[in-house]
Amino acid sequence: MGIHVHTKIKGLAGLLLARQCARKRRRWGRTMARKAGALLIVGMLLVVVSTAATLKVKDPGVRGGPAGAGGPLPGLTSAELAFFQAGLAAFGEVEAVKDGLGPRLNLDSCGGCHAQPTTGGSSPSVNPQVAVATKAGAKNVVPSFISLDGPVREARFKFKTDGTHDGGAPGCVLAQPDFRRAAARNNLIFRIPPPVFGAGLIEEIADATIMANLATARSSRAARELVDDQIDMDRAGPTRAAMTAASRGSAGRRRTSPS
DSSP state letters, 188-247: EEEEPPPP-TTHHHHHTS-HHHHHHHHHHHHHHHHHHHHHHHHHHHHHHHHHHHHHHHHH
Is pLDDT of 169 > 70?
no
pLDDT the model gives residue 199: 84
pLDDT tens-digit map of 179-236: 999 999 999 999 899 999 888 888 889 999 999 998 888 888 877 776 676 666 566 5
Q: Would you place residue 63 in the very low, low, confident or very high pLDDT band (cuts 50, 70, 90)?
A: confident
User: How far apart (Å, rounded) are the C-alpha atoms in residues 233 and 227?
Assistant: 10
- Phi, psi values for residue 212, rounded to 5°: -65, -40
Residues 99-117, mean pLDDT to the nearest whole number: 89
Its pTM stands at 0.53
Residues 165-178, mean pLDDT to the nearest whole number: 69
pLDDT the model gives residue 244: 47
**Contact, 109 vs 193, CB < 8 A?**
no
CA distances from 173 to 61, 95, 103, 128, 170 (A): 43, 18, 7, 24, 9
Q: With pLDDT > 70 as the criterion, what percentage of the chain qualifies?
A: 63
